[in-house]
Amino acid sequence: MAISLLNILILLLAPFLMIGVIKKTKAFWAGRKGVSIWQPMRDFIRLMKKGSVISETTSWVFKYTPVIGLGAVIFAAMFVPLATGQAIVNLPFAFVIFSYVLGLGKFFSLLSALDTGSSFEGMGASREACFSTIVEPAFFIALASIAALTQNYSFESFKLILKNAGGYGYIIIALAVVTLFIMLLIEGCRVPVDDPTTHLELTMIHEVMILDNSGVDLGLITWSAGIKMFIFEALIANLLIPLSWPLWVSVLAFLAIIFILAVIIGTVESSMARFRMTHVFEFIFLMSITALLILALVTYRVYGG
Amino acid sequence: MGIYFLSLGLLLLGALISVVVSEKWKLKVCTVSSLLSTGLMLLPAIAVLLTGMELGQTVYMSPMVGYVDFRIDLLSAFFLTVISIMSFLGVLYANGYMKPYLGKGMNVSSHCFFLMMLIASMIMVVTVQSAIFFLIVWEIMSLSSFFLVIFEGEKKEVLNAGIKYLIYMHLSMIFILAAMVMLDAHAGSLRFADFANSITPGSTYANIVFLLAFIGFGIKAGFVPFHNWLPDAHPAAPSHVSGIMSGVMIKTGIYGILRFLLFIGTPSKLISYIVLAIAVVSALYGVLYAITQHDIKRLLAYHSIENIGIIGIGIGVGMLGLAYGNQFAAVFGFTGAILHVLNHSIFKELLFFAAGSAYIKTHTRNIELLGGLIKKMPYTALLFIIGSVAICGIPPFNGFVSEFLIYAGMIKGVPASSMSLFIVLVLSIAALAMVGTMAMLCFTKAAGIMFLGNPRGVNLDNVTEVSRVMITPMTILAFLTFFIGMFPQYFIMIAMVPASMFTGGLASLNSLGSLYNMVGELSYYFFLFFILVAVLLGLRKLIGIGKENAVHTTWGCGYDRANNHMQYTASSYADLFISTLKPLFKRVSHIKKPKELFPKEAYYEQEIEDIEEAYIVKPLINWDEKFLTKFERIQNGNIQQYILFGLIFLILAIIGMVYFGG
């Protein structure tokens, strides 16, 4: 119980700091002093105090989507191993439940974008929907392969890769990290897929979908986006932390990995521009390739040699 | 069994009475007889499902047909339940839907008659267990649904779609007939009871029988590449008929495939792979083309192909489980497939009904012209959104449950022995995941463009919510999607009963208890999810208190005079995806470019043609026409010559008889 509470607390609060670290890193590479890493938290609190401007075109879909989205993200996080290496709810085939629950949030965010009747927001929705048709199969290939390798069908399988695959385990883990990192960039809408700080609506993906959200709603949406990124970072961290470490060490290692990943994301964003929309697909297909490589390695390990 | 015949009799009685009473009363008569017959029919069906005891009776029909076995076994009982409930809801919905058509000289009489006949014949298809009578009721089912499709037969495209449907159904008949004849030749009997276990499992003979039956029933079910009638017939038919056809009637094809699977025993690996491959292709193909469609009922028809594909994936996984001796894959594949039959019939009827309600009020099926309906038809919009979420397989609705079972079967079905099976299963998992996300793209498009935003072309001033008679069946269906999603364990238990016919007894299921418990646990967490969302909503309300919300136009990026035609459209929403997969579609553009200095008229229109139709069906028909025109010469209107042809035929026949018979 205490462990679950600790996990939930980290889940709800860490995303703000994570975004803060990304911003700080970008400021560092740009040679600026940058805002404090607490600024995202302050922004959130400020948004919570504001009223909203609501479009006259919208319906209940627009009104409830931020809450449904936040609920879906938190609920999906329950099935994922967090700071302590254990999921709050540990079920077999958790990755299926996980991605379909995230799908609920996505479904409503797409609908909400169309609800405004805007000439721009549908564009972002179209892109987001299109990307996920390529992302999800790759994610399922990677996770199903790992499940078959370890004969464990929950996210615990991440910890058993080394035991089951020997030396190949390191390669599989590396490939899985790359796969999940690309997924993190896509789902979190970061450079080089999407630029969260861009100012031109035509090039946006996630930001353009929420053009009409303001005040509390905007705060909830940015919070859920942060939590979603954090979940994928948590998955990566769990790939890297072995089972044998004592609890407090693995919690510290977890937080360190989250920190390092945030720094890497910030560095990536400072060192490159976002891809042209046509090239984004090539980048996303990279994820399919790494996933297929995992499948190939697992096949070789289990059935070959 | 007496109740079964009574219920069937009530349906036929209703059909006859509805012909003679005045137009106003026809549908009411149908509704009453359908309600009574459904209530009665559920008694034996549910009794069989609960107790596992089969019911049966042999009836002497006529000298030609001979004795006919009527049996309700576990598989029949499940399909009987689905058919009875869903058909009744369809008839109930028809009461409201048909109102605008009454008193206009349309042939409501024959419509009501054939509606009842369709339901009765579907019920008999799943319970008759003698070959000849089965084929007869199968034909009645095809014919009565044909007459339902051509209700608005004065429209040319409706009639064309109807005739196409009729031709496909008779192709299907040929294959089923061939499979039956092969079984008959081997078993020496026309009774289904003798068919079972008459062939050596896994033999080439068994494979051929199954593949013939699979093609025959696959045409009815709508597997790719036999699906071509579906996207034409559904938009042509009235919405309640589309709902019943897509929700229930095409499932009789699935029933036939499952029934033949029982005849051939343990399937060979080869046919299991073929079934899985065709199913995966169907699922992907259906949803791909659904994305390109802007006629809402055509879109839903393509989604039927997708969902039949998902059911097929379940059956394929189950068959592979049997072929490789993997209990887990077998049980979860078949259970998932059978549960998806129920689930799909629920949400597909819901979607067809909701789309039909929008059509009856706006008189257009083109979603590009719609928008903002949620303000005029709030219930219909809500129900359509619920159906959309369910069909995408998103929890906590019913689509998730059956897809989850199929996933579970595939993930855990991986054996240590076969590398090819491992790779096939993992790729099928990826395909199923892709189908889910593409369905999401498709249904956010459909629901978002139809119901949300502002009107795009059709004037909505006079549009109101549909009558309560139409809302009621949709509400029941929406409630069912939600109920199955929240309490999956009970429905999994029910679907496991017919699945046990394939996997051999329920005893082996005890070892799978852990997963059953897990699904029960999942239902508990879905409750927690609702509490979570409710708490968050409460908090959101609390935060919102005392804050001023301003209402403004939608942000147009600085432009303040945005109008309805500047909204994002369905075409543009789908375009990014379609252009990414360009080679899979055949795009036909109709362009009129602006020409003069002050151009007056210009337009651009793009439609996407089904490649199967464009590259396979059409060339085949062209070739066929060319070949057959060579025989035109024979038909010259000269009676003397016709008599000569008859004479030549008779002589040839006699020579043949003497030669082969002697």
For chain B, the domains span 631-662
Which residues 469-488 of B have a C-beta within 8 angstroms of A?
A: none
Assign B153 a pLDDT band (cuts: 50, 70, 90). Answer: confident
CB A139 within 8 A of CB A257: no
Residue B106 has pLDDT above 80, yes or no: no
Position of tokens 């894959």? Answer: B329
Residue B507 has pLDDT above 60, yes or no: no
Q: What percent of chain B has pLDDT over 70?
A: 98
For residue B238, the distance in angstroms to the closest alpha carbon of chain A comes to: 28
Please report how many Cα atoms fall inside a 13 Å half-sphere around the Cα of residue B208, on the Cβ side: 10
What HEC string does B288-331 produce? HHHHHCCEHHHHHHHHHHHHHHHHHHHHHHHHHHHHHCCHHHHH
Cβ-based neighbours of B8, under 8 Å, separated by 6 or more: B37, B120, B123, B124
pLDDT at residue B510, rounded to an integer: 55
Of A71, A138, A303, which is closest to B419 when you measure between CB atoms? A303
| B516 at interface of A, judged by CB pairs closer than 8 A | no
Domain that holds residue A23: 2-303
- Which of B553, B551, B578 is closest to B566 using CA atoms? B553
Which residues 388-407 of B have a C-beta within 8 angstroms of A?
A: 388-389, 392-395, 400, 404, 407
Cβ-based neighbours of B319, under 8 Å, separated by 6 or more: B261, B267, B271, B272, B275, B276, B330, B333
| B551 at interface of A, judged by CB pairs closer than 8 A | yes
Inspect the interface and report whether the beta carbons of B521 and A119 lie closer than 8 Å: no
| B464 at interface of A, judged by CB pairs closer than 8 A | no
Contacts of B544 in chain A (CB under 8 A): 216
Assign B662 a pLDDT band (cuts: 50, 70, 90). Answer: low
More confident residue, B590 or B477: B477
Contacts of B434 in chain A (CB under 8 A): 133-134, 136-137
Concatenated DSSP letters of chain A = -HHHHHHHHHHHHHHHHHHHHHHHHHHHHTT-----TTHHHHHHHHHHT---EEETT--HHHHHHHHHHHHHHHHHHTTSB-TTSSBSS--TTHHHHHHHHHHHHHHHHHHHHHHTT-SSHHHHHHHHHHHHHHHHHHHHHHHHHHHHHHT--STTHHHHHHHHHTTHHHHHHHHHHHHHHHHHHHHTT-TTT--TT---GGG-SHHHHTTT--HHHHHHHHHHHHHHHHHHHHHHHHHHS-TTS-HHHHHHHHHHHHHHHHHHHHHHHHH-PPPPHHHHHHHHHHHHHHHHHHHHHHHHHHH--
| B409 at interface of A, judged by CB pairs closer than 8 A | no
Of A56, A64, A71, which is closest to B529 when you measure between CB atoms? A71
Burial label for A50, CB within 10 Å (0-12, 13-18, 19+), is middle
Q: What would the two tokens of residue B406 be?
A: 């199929």
| B553 at interface of A, judged by CB pairs closer than 8 A | yes
| B419 at interface of A, judged by CB pairs closer than 8 A | yes
3-state secondary structure at position B396: coil
For residue A260, the distance in angstroms to the closest alpha carbon of chain B comes to: 31
3-state secondary structure at position B662: coil
Position of tokens 């299991």? Answer: B272
Interface test with A, best of B292, B441, B537, B575 (most A CBs within 10 A): B441
Contacts of B482 in chain A (CB under 8 A): none
Lowest mean pLDDT among A66-75, B95-104, B650-659: B95-104
Q: How far apart are CA B637 and CA B623, in angstroms?
A: 25
Cβ neighbours of B643 (radius 10 Å) = 10
Digit-coded pLDDT (tens) for B193-230: 888 878 888 889 999 999 999 999 999 999 988 998 99
Lowest mean pLDDT among A224-228, B445-449, B464-468: B464-468
Inspect the interface and report whether the beta carbons of A52 and B549 lie closer than 8 Å: yes
| B540 at interface of A, judged by CB pairs closer than 8 A | yes
Nearest C-alpha in B relative to A90: B518
CB B429 within 8 A of CB A135: no
Residue B508 has pLDDT above 80, yes or no: no
Interface test with A, best of B328, B394, B535 (most A CBs within 10 A): B394
Strands B603-609 and B586-592: antiparallel
CB B439 within 8 A of CB A105: no
Inspect the interface and report whether the beta carbons of A57 and B444 lie closer than 8 Å: no
pLDDT at residue A22, rounded to an integer: 95
pLDDT at residue A136, rounded to an integer: 94
Inspect the interface and report whether the beta carbons of A117 and B515 lie closer than 8 Å: no
Assign B416 a pLDDT band (cuts: 50, 70, 90). Answer: low
Contacts of B556 in chain A (CB under 8 A): 118-120
| Residue B586 parent element (H or E) | strand B586-592
Q: Which of B317-326, B427-436, B501-510 has the highest mean pLDDT?
A: B427-436
Assign A288 a pLDDT band (cuts: 50, 70, 90). Answer: very high
Inspect the interface and report whether the beta carbons of B454 and A133 lie closer than 8 Å: no
Q: Report which DSSP code applies to B366.
A: B
Inspect the interface and report whether the beta carbons of A100 and B436 lie closer than 8 Å: yes
Inspect the interface and report whether the beta carbons of A71 and B536 lie closer than 8 Å: yes
Contacts of B375 in chain A (CB under 8 A): 59
For residue A77, the distance in angstroms to the closest alpha carbon of chain B comes to: 12
For residue B344, the distance in angstroms to the closest alpha carbon of chain A comes to: 18
Inspect the interface and report whether the beta carbons of A51 and B374 lie closer than 8 Å: no
pLDDT at residue A71, rounded to an integer: 96
Report the domain count for chain A.
1
Nearest C-alpha in A relative to B515: A92
Q: What would the two tokens of residue B173 be?
A: 């008949």
| B531 at interface of A, judged by CB pairs closer than 8 A | no
Inspect the interface and report whether the beta carbons of B423 and A295 lie closer than 8 Å: yes
For residue B247, the distance in angstroms to the closest alpha carbon of chain A comes to: 24
pLDDT at residue B505, rounded to an integer: 56
Q: How far apart are CA B435 and CA A169, in angstroms?
A: 30
CB A100 within 8 A of CB B408: no
| B563 at interface of A, judged by CB pairs closer than 8 A | no
Question: Given phi > 0 = left and psi -120 to 50 = alpha, else beta, which region is A96?
Answer: alpha
Digit-coded pLDDT (tens) for B442-457: 999 999 999 999 998 8
Burial label for B561, CB within 10 Å (0-12, 13-18, 19+), is exposed
Of A91, A107, A212, which is closest to B522 when you measure between CB atoms? A91
Contacts of A303 in chain B (CB under 8 A): 418-419, 422
Give the CA diameter of chain B.
Answer: 102
Inspect the interface and report whether the beta carbons of A53 and B395 lie closer than 8 Å: no
Interface test with A, best of B442, B555, B569 (most A CBs within 10 A): B555
Digit-coded pLDDT (tens) for B569-611: 998 899 889 888 888 888 888 888 888 888 888 888 888 888 8
For residue A229, the distance in angstroms to the closest alpha carbon of chain B comes to: 20
Inspect the interface and report whether the beta carbons of A51 and B549 lie closer than 8 Å: yes
Rounded to an integer, the average pLDDT of B556-580 is 86
Assign B261 a pLDDT band (cuts: 50, 70, 90). Answer: very high
Q: How far apart are CA B648 and CA A140, in angstroms?
A: 66
Cβ neighbours of B629 (radius 10 Å) = 9
Inspect the interface and report whether the beta carbons of A136 and B437 lie closer than 8 Å: yes
Of B453, B551, B574, which is closest to A115 when you measure between CB atoms? B453
| B414 at interface of A, judged by CB pairs closer than 8 A | yes
Residue A15 has pLDDT above 70, yes or no: yes
Assign A140 a pLDDT band (cuts: 50, 70, 90). Answer: very high
Contacts of B561 in chain A (CB under 8 A): none
Position of tokens 């696959």? Answer: B218
Q: What percent of chain B has pLDDT over 90?
A: 60
Rounded to an integer, the average pLDDT of B551-559 is 83
| B437 at interface of A, judged by CB pairs closer than 8 A | yes
Nearest C-alpha in B relative to A202: B557
pLDDT at residue B623, rounded to an integer: 93
| B607 at interface of A, judged by CB pairs closer than 8 A | no
Q: Which amino acid is at B190?
A: L
Assign B509 a pLDDT band (cuts: 50, 70, 90). Answer: low
pLDDT at residue A178, rounded to an integer: 96
Give the CA diameter of chain A.
Answer: 65
Contacts of A139 in chain B (CB under 8 A): 433
| B374 at interface of A, judged by CB pairs closer than 8 A | yes
Contacts of A147 in chain B (CB under 8 A): 411
pLDDT at residue B652, rounded to an integer: 95
pLDDT at residue A202, rounded to an integer: 81
Assign B357 a pLDDT band (cuts: 50, 70, 90). Answer: very high
More confident residue, B662 or B490: B490
Contacts of A126 in chain B (CB under 8 A): 568, 572-577
Please report how many Cα atoms fall inside a 13 Å half-sphere around the Cα of residue A128, on the Cβ side: 30
Is the dihedral angle over the CA atoms B393, B396, B397, B399 positive or is it negative?
positive
Residue B174 has pLDDT above 90, yes or no: yes
Q: How far apart are CA A176 and CA B216, in angstroms?
A: 44
Mean pLDDT rounded to a whole number for chain B: 90
Assign B338 a pLDDT band (cuts: 50, 70, 90). Answer: very high
Of A59, A93, A303, which is closest to B422 when you measure between CB atoms? A303
Radius of gyration of chain A (CA): 19
Digit-coded pLDDT (tens) for B596-654: 888 888 888 888 888 888 888 889 989 989 998 888 888 888 888 889 999 999 999 99
